[in-house]
C-alpha cells in the first residue's frame, strides 16, 4: 500500500467512524437531554427520528451525488455539515434547536459512509480493495463497542453536550488528511494498482473506472420521500400530545401518505429512479427487505426502550446503561462471521427464519422486569439471547438480499436495504409513544418488549415463507456493497455472499 492509498484509507475510516459513533452514542444520553430541556418521551423520539428522517431520505441519492460532484467533494461537504451540526447540537439552547440540528446532522451522515466506501473502491482494486474494506470495517466497527460506554461516561462525568462536541476531533483530522488530495475527473484502471496509483498519486473525484457516466440525481424522488416520511412521522409522534382529531396531526399525516404514494408513482415512471421498483420483483430481494422492515423496527424500538428504561425506571447511571448494552455489540461482533459462513454453506432461509425468533424470545425474557428490579436476572439474559438471535439473522439477511440482484446493481441494492432499515427504525421510534401510552414504567416497558418480540417473529415468519435457498444467477457480491448494506460495518467482508456478516 503506497502512502496515498494509506491516506485515503484513513480518511474513509475516520469519516465513517464519526457517523457510526454518533449512531451508537446518542440513546444513552436521551434521559439527560430531557432532564435539562424537558419534553419527555416526545423530545426523545424527535432527537432520534430527526436524524433518521434526514438519513433515510437522502441515503439513496448519496451515490448519485458522489458520481456527479466527486467523491472527495461530497465527502468534504458531508464532514463539514456533520461537524457544524454536531457543534449546533452541543450548544443548542432548546429542544427545538437540538432537533433541527440533529436533522442537519443526519443529512451530513447520509453523505459520509457511501462517499467513504466509494473513495476506497475508486482507489483500490482486486485483493487490495477487499483488504482495504476489511480494515475499514474492523476500525469503524469499534464505534459500536465504544459508543454506548463512551457516551455514558461523558454524560455521567461531564455533560450530554460532549457526545456531540467530541465529533469535532475525528472530523478535523479527516479534513486535514483530505487537504491536497487532487481531483482528476477519472483515473486509468492501471492507476488502481499500486504502481499506477503511485504514478497518478490522485483520487478520482467522479466516476470510478468501469462505472460509466454519473447517474442523474433523482431530486424529485428524494423530495417526495422526505415529505412523505416527515408528514407521517410528525403525526405519529405528535398525536400523543395533540390527538388524532387535531388538524395539526391528521393534516400532515394525510399529506405524508399522499407524498409517499406519489413517490412510488414517480419512481415507476422516471428514467433513473433512486429506488428502482423492479428490484422488488426479485423474490429474495423483495421478501428480504420486507423482513428487514420488521426486524429493524424491532431492533430500533427495543434497544431504545431498554436504554431509557434502565436509566429512567431502574435507576442506572448513564455509564451503567452504556455498559449494559455492551454485550449485544460484543456477541454480534464475534458470532456474525460464523453464521455468515454457515449461511453461505446451507443457504440463508433457516437462519433468517430462526434468528429473528430467537431474538424475539430474548425480548420476551425481558418482560420479567419488575420490582424488586434485578438486571442480572431480568434484563441481561434477554439481551444475550437477543444478541445471539440477531447474530444469526443479519449476515444471512445481507447475503440473501444482495445475492439476489445482479452484481452491477448490488450498490443500489445495498443502499435500498440500508434505507429500508433506517425508515423501519424511524417509524418504530415514532410509534413508541403510542405503545407506551405516553408514560414509561414497568407495565409499558413490558408492553414494548412484547411488541418488539412480535416484530421479530413476524420477520422470521416472512423469511420462512418467502426466502429461497436456490442460488441466484448473480451470487457474487462486492465487498463494498455488503459493507454498505444497512449502513453497518462488515467484519471480514469478502466477495462472496456466504461471508458477508454485518454488525447490528
pLDDT for 301 beyond 90: yes
C-alpha cell at 242: 395533540
pLDDT for 186 beyond 50: no
Q: In this predicted structure, which of 153-162, 174-183, 283-292, 376-385 has the lowest mean pLDDT?
A: 174-183
Residues 210, 136: Cα–Cα separation, whole Å: 23
Q: In this predicted structure, which of 355-359, 379-383, 406-410, 479-483 has the lowest mean pLDDT?
A: 479-483
Q: In this predicted structure, which of 12-21, 52-61, 133-142, 286-295 has the lowest mean pLDDT?
A: 133-142
pLDDT for 104 beyond 60: yes
The residue-averaged pLDDT of 373-378 equals 97
User: Given the C-alpha cell 492501471, which residue does it identify?
Assistant: 190
Q: Is the backbone of residue 241 left (phi > 0), alpha (psi -120 to 50) or beta?
A: alpha
The residue-averaged pLDDT of 369-380 equals 97
pLDDT for 206 beyond 50: no
Q: How confident is the model at residue 140 (pLDDT cuts 50, 70, 90)?
A: confident
The better pLDDT of the pair 70, 320 is held by 320
pLDDT for 97 beyond 70: yes
What pLDDT was estimated at residue 88? Answer: 98
Is residue 176 packed enough to be buried (19+ CB in 10 Å), middle (13-18) or exposed (0-12)?
Answer: exposed
The residue-averaged pLDDT of 337-345 equals 86
Q: In this predicted structure, which of 122-131, 364-373, 486-495 has the lowest mean pLDDT?
A: 486-495
Q: How confident is the model at residue 480 (pLDDT cuts 50, 70, 90)?
A: confident
pLDDT for 76 beyond 80: yes
Q: How confident is the model at residue 202 (pLDDT cuts 50, 70, 90)?
A: low
Q: How confident is the model at residue 491 (pLDDT cuts 50, 70, 90)?
A: very low
Q: In this predicted structure, which of 131-135, 212-216, 349-353, 372-376 has the lowest mean pLDDT?
A: 212-216
Average pLDDT along the chain: 86
What pLDDT was estimated at residue 103? Answer: 97
The residue-averaged pLDDT of 131-157 equals 87
Q: How far apart are the first and last CA of the chain?
A: 30
Residues 445, 432: Cα–Cα separation, whole Å: 10
What pLDDT was estimated at residue 90? Answer: 97
Is residue 13 packed enough to be buried (19+ CB in 10 Å), middle (13-18) or exposed (0-12)?
Answer: buried
What pLDDT was estimated at residue 403? Answer: 87
Please state the pTM of the whole predicted model.
0.89
Residues 108, 75: Cα–Cα separation, whole Å: 9
What pLDDT was estimated at residue 214? Answer: 54
3-state secondary structure 41-96: HHHHHHHHHHHHHHHHHHHHHHHHHHHHHCHHHHHHHHHHHHHHHHHHHHCCCCHH
Residues 457, 448: Cα–Cα separation, whole Å: 14
3-state secondary structure 14-32: HHHHHHHHHHHHCHHHHHH
CA-nearest of 358, 344, 458, 460 to 402 is 344
The number of beta carbons lying within 10 Å of the beta carbon of residue 42 is 18
Angle 283-312/30-37 helices, nearest 10 degrees?
60
pLDDT for 492 beyond 60: no
Residue 76's alpha-carbon distances to 82, 114, 168, 176, in angstroms, are 10, 12, 14, 10
What pLDDT was estimated at residue 200? Answer: 41
Q: What does the CA dihedral 130, 501, 75, 67 come to, rounded to 10 degrees? A: 70
The residue-averaged pLDDT of 414-442 equals 93
pLDDT for 476 beyond 90: no
What pLDDT was estimated at residue 275? Answer: 93
Amino acid at each position: 500500500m503506497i502512502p496515498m492509498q494509506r491516506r485515503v484509507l484513513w480518511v474513509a475510516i475516520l469519516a465513517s467512524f464519526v457517523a457510526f459513533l454518533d449512531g451508537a452514542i446518542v440513546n444513552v444520553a436521551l434521559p439527560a437531554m430531557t432532564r435539562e430541556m424537558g419534553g419527555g418521551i416526545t423530545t426523545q423520539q424527535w432527537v432520534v427520528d430527526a436524524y433518521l428522517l434526514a438519513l433515510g431520505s437522502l441515503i439513496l441519492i448519496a451515490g448519485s451525488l458522489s458520481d456527479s460532484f466527486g467523491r472527495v467533494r461530497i465527502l468534504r461537504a458531508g464532514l463539514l455539515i456533520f461537524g457544524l451540526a454536531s457543534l449546533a447540537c452541543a450548544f443548542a439552547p432548546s429542544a427545538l434547536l437540538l432537533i433541527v440540528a440533529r436533522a442537519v446532522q443526519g443529512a451530513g451522515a447520509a453523505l459520509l459512509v457511501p462517499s467513504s466506501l466509494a473513495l476506497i473502491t475508486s482507489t483500490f482494486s482486486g485483493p487490495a480493495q477487499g483488504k482495504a474494506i476489511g480494515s475499514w470495517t474492523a476500525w469503524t466497527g469499534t464505534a459500536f463497542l465504544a459508543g454506548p460506554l463512551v457516551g455514558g461516561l461523558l454524560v455521567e462525568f461531564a455533560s450530554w453536550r460532549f457526545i456531540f462536541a467530541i465529533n469535532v476531533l475525528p472530523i478535523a483530522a479527516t479534513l486535514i488528511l483530505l487537504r491536497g488530495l487532487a481531483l482528476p475527473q477519472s483515473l486509468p484502471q492501471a492507476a488502481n494498482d499500486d504502481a499506477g496509483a503511485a504514478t497518478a498519486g490522485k483520487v478520482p473525484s467522479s466516476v470510478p473506472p468501469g462505472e460509466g457516466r454519473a447517474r442523474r440525481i433523482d431530486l424529485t424522488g428524494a423530495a417526495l420521500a422526505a415529505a412523505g416520511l416527515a408528514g407521517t412521522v410528525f403525526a405519529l409522534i405528535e398525536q400523543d400530545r395533540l390527538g388524532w382529531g387535531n388538524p395539526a396531526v391528521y393534516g400532515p399525516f394525510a399529506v405524508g401518505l399522499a407524498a409517499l404514494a406519489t413517490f412510488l408513482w414517480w419512481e415507476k415512471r422516471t428514467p433513473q429512479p433512486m429506488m428502482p421498483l423492479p428490484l422488488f420483483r426479485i423474490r429474495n430481494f423483495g421478501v428480504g427487505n420486507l423482513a428487514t422492515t420488521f426486524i429493524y423496527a424491532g431492533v430500533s424500538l427495543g434497544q431504545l426502550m431498554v436504554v431509557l428504561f434502565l436509566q429512567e425506571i431502574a435507576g442506572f447511571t448513564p455509564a451503567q446503561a452504556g455498559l449494559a448494552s455492551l454485550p449485544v455489540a460484543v456477541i454480534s461482533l464475534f458470532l456474525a462471521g460464523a453464521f455468515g459462513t454457515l449461511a453461505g454453506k446451507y443457504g440463508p432461509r433457516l437462519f433468517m427464519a430462526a434468528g429473528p425468533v430467537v431474538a424475539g424470545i430474548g425480548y420476551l425474557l425481558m418482560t420479567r422486569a419488575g420490582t424488586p428490579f434485578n438486571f442480572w436476572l431480568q434484563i441481561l439474559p434477554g439481551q444475550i439471547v437477543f444478541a445471539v438471535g440477531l447474530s444469526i439473522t443479519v449476515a444471512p439477511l445481507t447475503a440473501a438480499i444482495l445475492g439476489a440482484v445482479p452484481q452491477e446493481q448490488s450498490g443500489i441494492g445495498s443502499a435500498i436495504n440500508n434505507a429500508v432499515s433506517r425508515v423501519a427504525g424511524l417509524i418504530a421510534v415514532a410509534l413508541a409513544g403510542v405503545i407506551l401510552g405516553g408514560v414509561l414504567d414497568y407495565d409499558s416497558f413490558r408492553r414494548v418488549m412484547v411488541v418488539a418480540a412480535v416484530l421479530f417473529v413476524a420477520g422470521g415468519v416472512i423469511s420462512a415463507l418467502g426466502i429461497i435457498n436456490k442460488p441466484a444467477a448473480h451470487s457474487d457480491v462486492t465487498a463494498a456493497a455488503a459493507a454498505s448494506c444497512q449502513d453497518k460495518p462488515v467484519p471480514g467482508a469478502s466477495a462472496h455472499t456466504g461471508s458477508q456478516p454485518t454488525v447490528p
